Amino acid sequence: MANVILKEIVKKFGDVLAVNKVNLEIKDQEFVVLVGPSGCGKTTTLRMIAGLEEIDAGEIYIGDTLVNDVPPKDRDIAMVFQNYALYPHMDVYNNMAFGLKLRKFPKSDIDQRVKEAAEILGIQELLQRKPKQLSGGQRQRVAVGRAIVRHPKVFLFDEPLSNLDAKLRVQMRAELSKLHDRLKTTMIYVTHDQIEAMTMGDRIVVMRDGLVQQVGSPLELYNKPINKFVAGFIGTPSMNFIDVVLKKEGDGLYLDGQSFKLNIPNEFKESLLPHLNQELTLGIRPQDLFDSEVSKESASTGSTINTTVDVVEPLGSEQIIYLTTGPHTLVAVLDMQTRTGVGDDLKIAVDTSKMHLFKSDTEIAII
Ligand code: ATP
């Protein structure tokens, strides 16, 4: 078994609390992505799992063994770094073989493992080349190959794609996912890129200021963010946030946004009643806003917002539209059917069944 368990892990650098009582259970064969803005503690967490950073408090288990005092080389893990860390004077074959030679593996085993990894990664033709004769993507594959030949219990990746151009990054994302399907080894992957996290992870761990904010599948995080931070971090363009007050009219509840009113669907009424007359933050994704002229959403919910168009960004298949309503700004992703330009009035229909509401003070989600 190669599950990885972190219990109340703490790491301080002087006054900086880099990792603050992190608890995490990563299952055998799982692909887990640690994601969060720069400085949130994700690299430090990974380096503690690798044994490259000592921990100040807590316990780390790999495959049910407490590894707090086990040196990195004996943890049965392999790490792929952002800068690949290839040996420039060795050819690809020897770069991949080096770790096995150090561990005194027999030559025939080394040869078999290197050739197998090269075949998996499609780099058989490159084995005699030096790193400087390789493209960025090829170097990246060699760095992964060097990890594969070790047959580790756990792979650790620290932003392995960030030195590649956008197109190659997308390609390598798919290749690493396929590699995981093929090897079925536990993988822990650090990135600050939420799209990378969403497309690769079985589960995602969102971190902020050394704390785990939420752990869940990509869709759980997208559909049920636990707080405003996760809601704003996951999804492109980012979720819209608007200050509103929850009010009652007759039997119904509605959100007063100064320049608009949105009716609350019946399904949310019960959980929202305790928050009557409170200031809340409405969260609505750009993808849940529609042009009321061309969309059926307005007919079903009856909730619309009158806006003025500020900026139109046509992307070919869809367009990103920046809007204002009263004191608020909004971003909507609309299909290309909507013909609009800067300064036009646009009536936006809101799919209120998809809305989120956060407490203004704690930023915790209430629906
Ligand atoms: P990034 O995406 O920028 O790499 P991160 O989420 O991986 O960020 P960490 O590198 O884990 O963040 O850093 C967490 C905090 O600990 C930051 O405030 C950072 O400045 C601090 N830190 C990390 N390593 C050290 C170190 N060796 N000495 C002092 N402070 C450190």
Crossing angle of the two packed helices 107-121 and 136-148, in degrees rounded to 10: 140
Domain-embedded: residue 166: yes
Residues 51-73 have pLDDT tens digits of 999 999 999 999 989 999 999 99
ipTM, two decimals: 0.97
Residues 108 and 22 in one domain: yes
Domain-embedded: residue 365: no
Residues 184 and 250 in one domain: no
Contact 247, 258 (CB under 8 A): no
Residues 219 and 344 in one domain: no
Residues 180 and 283 in one domain: no
pLDDT at 273: 95
- 233, 255, 282 — which closes off a domain? 233
Domain that holds residue 355: 240-359
Q: What is the dihedral of CA 334, 340, 345, 351, to 10 degrees?
A: -10
Residues 349-362 have pLDDT tens digits of 999 999 999 999 99
How many domains are contained in the chain?
2
In short, whether 9's Cβ falls inside 6 Å of ligand 1 is no
- Which atom of ligand 1 is nearest the CA belonging to 47? 11
Half-sphere exposure of 261 (CA within 13 A, CB side): 8
CB-CB neighbours of 82 under 10 Å: 17
Residues 228 and 251 in one domain: no
Buried-state track 181-200, b at ≥16 Cβ within 10 A, e below 16: eeeebbbbbbbbbbebbbeb
Backbone φ, ψ for residue 266 (5° rounding): -55, -35
pLDDT score of 312 more than 70: yes
- Tell me the two tokens of residue 297: 């959403």
- 233, 267, 296 — which closes off a domain? 233
pLDDT score of 296 more than 80: no
Judged by DSSP in three states, 237 sits in: coil
Backbone φ, ψ for residue 114 (5° rounding): -65, -45
Residues 210 and 343 in one domain: no
| 94 vs 91: CA distance, rounded Å | 5
Minimum CA distance residue for ligand 1 atom 27: 13
What global pTM score does this model have?
0.94
Residues 27 and 103 in one domain: yes
Tell me how long the chain is.
367
Minimum CA distance residue for ligand 1 atom 18: 39
Minimum CA distance residue for ligand 1 atom 29: 13
Among 6, 12, 16, residue to substitute to test ligand 1 (most atoms within 8 Å of Cβ) = 16
Q: Separation of 338 CA from ligand 1 center, angstroms?
A: 45
Residues 192 and 302 in one domain: no
- 177, 212, 233 — which closes off a domain? 233
Burial of residue 110 (CB within 10 Å: 0-12, 13-18, 19+) is buried
| 223 vs 123: CA distance, rounded Å | 40
Domain-embedded: residue 366: no
